[in-house]
Amino acid sequence: MDKHLVLIGGGHAHMVTLANLRHFVEKGFRVTVVGPSEHHYYSGMGPGMLGGTYAPEQIRFATRRVVEKQGGTFILDKGVRVDAEKRVMHLASGKTLPYDVISFNAGSFVPRDVLAPDCGEVFAVKPIEKLLDAQRRILELSAAGPFRVAVVGGGASAVEIAGNVWRLVRERGDHPVEITLFAGHGVMSRFPAGIGRMVRRSFGRRGIRLLEKGYVRQVKSDVVVLESGETWPCDLVFLAAGVRPSRIFSESALPTGPDGGLLVNRFLQSTKHPEIFGGGDCIYFQPRPLDKVGVYAVRENPVLYHNLMASLEGKLLQPFDPGGDYLLIFNLGDGKGIFRKKRLLFGGRPAFWIKDYIDRRFIRTFQAIEQE
C-alpha cells in the first residue's frame, strides 16, 4: 500500500489516533507526525502548572516517544502551508512532506495586534509550555521586590491565569504582586451571569483588581493603554484574549470559516479536499459553529481516528455529532473552582476537586500509552 498519513500537531483531537498508530503501520501505511515540541501539554491543566499545582511532567504527553515506539516518524517542526493540489505539506524548516491523507490539530494562537514595538515582557497563554517561562520570570520579579502583572482578556483563560499568578506568588514568591485583569466590558461575559459574579467575589477577596470599563488599545513598555486613553503601569503582561485558529489554512488558500479555521463538513473533512481532515481549535465545523473548548476536541477523537483509517482504505466515513451541553469547570487558583453543567452552577473546593480528578484521569489515560 505505502500510503502516507501525515498528522500536523499532537493535540487533544489526535490523541486516539496517536494511541493507535500501530494499527496504521500494521496495515502497511506510513505515518508521520509533525509537532513543535516532543511533548503535548494539556491546556486544561496549564494554568494549574503556572500556579504550581502541577509539575510539567504531570500535564504532558510524550508525543515523539509514542509515535516512534509504534513505528511512526516524528518530525520536530511546524507546518506553515499546504499545497493541496500537489498534496504536499510545507514546513517551517523549508522541508516538504508529501501525503495521501493529512489531518490538522494545529491549535490556535493569541493575536499580538495590541503590542507596541517597545512593549515590555509579554507572555501569551499559548503555547502552554511557555507558561513555564512565565512562571520563572514571575518568581524572579517577586525575588526582586513588589511588582505588577497585567492580564489582558475577560474569558476563562484570563481568569485562570490571573488566579494562578496569585497562587504562585502567594505560595512561592518573596514579595507581593499586584494583579490587574483587563476584562473589556465584562468578565466571563459569554457565560451565564452567575459565573461572572463568582469570579468578582473571588478576585475581590484576594485583592485581584478587575477592570471592566473598556478594551485594551495597546500594550507599551511598562504600561497598558485602554481605548479611553487611560494608562495602567505593569511589569509583565499576559495576553489571553481573542484566540484564533492557526494561519496555515488562510496561507494555503483552503476554504475557511469566518474565524480562519479550516472549513470542515460533518465528517471533519475539508469541504474542498476530501483527503484533508482536522479537529480541535483549528477547524470551523460547517454544520454549526463550535465553541473553542477542549471538550469538542475530545469528542472528535474517535471520529477522526475512524475517518483517517477509512479514507486510507477507501471505506465509509463516520459523521461527527458534537453532542449536547458540556461540562465546564474553571480553576480559580486558590484551591477553588466554578462548576457549570446545564442549570447546575456552584463554586468552591468541591468544584476544583472534580476538575482535578477529571483532568488527572484524562492525561493519565494517554500517558499510560508511553509505558506500553
Q: Report the relative pairing of strands 216-220 and 96-98 from DSSP bridges.
A: unpaired
- For the ranges 264-278, 287-301, 307-321, which has the lowest average pLDDT? 287-301
Q: How much is the average pLDDT of 137-143? A: 97
Over 80: is that where the pLDDT of 363 sits?
A: yes
- The CATH superfamily assigned to 121-242 is FAD/NAD(P)-binding domain (3.50.50.60)
Q: What is the pLDDT of residue 140?
A: 97
| Residues in contact with 91: Cβ distance below 8 Å, sequence separation at least 6, in sequence order | 34, 75, 77, 78, 79, 80, 97
pLDDT digits (tens, 9 = 90+) for 178-230: 999 999 999 999 899 999 999 999 999 999 999 998 999 999 888 999 999 99
Question: For the chain, what is the radius of gyration of the CA atoms?
Answer: 21
C-alpha 200 chain-centroid distance = 24
Please tell me the predicted confidence (pLDDT) of residue 20. Answer: 94
The three-class DSSP label of residue 329 is strand
Residue 30 carries which side chain, given as an amino acid letter? R
Instruction: Supply the pLDDT for residue 372.
Output: 66
Return the sign of the alpha-carbon dihedral for residues 276, 285, 280, 78.
Answer: positive
Contact at 8 Å (CB) between 286 and 265? Answer: yes
Range with the largest mean pLDDT of 78-92, 122-136, 211-225, 288-302: 78-92
CA proximity to 218, closest of 298, 134, 118, 301: 118
Instruction: Out of 18-32, 48-62, 240-254, pick the least confident.
Output: 240-254
Tell me, what amino acid is at 372?
E
For residue 1, the model assigns a pLDDT of: 58
Question: Comparing 4-36+77-109+244-326 with 121-242, is the CATH topology the same?
Answer: yes
Q: What is the per-residue pLDDT for 121?
A: 83
pLDDT in tens, 325-354: 889 999 999 999 999 998 899 999 999 999
Domain 4-36+77-109+244-326 has CATH 3.50.50.60: yes
The predicted pLDDT at position 127 comes to 85
Residue 31 has pLDDT above 90, yes or no: yes
Mean pLDDT of the chain: 93
What is the C-alpha separation between 198 and 203, in angstroms, rounded?
9
Hey, where are the domains in the chain?
A: 4-36+77-109+244-326, 121-242
Band (258; pLDDT cuts 50, 70, 90):
very high
Q: Alpha-carbon distance 136 to 18, whole Å?
A: 31
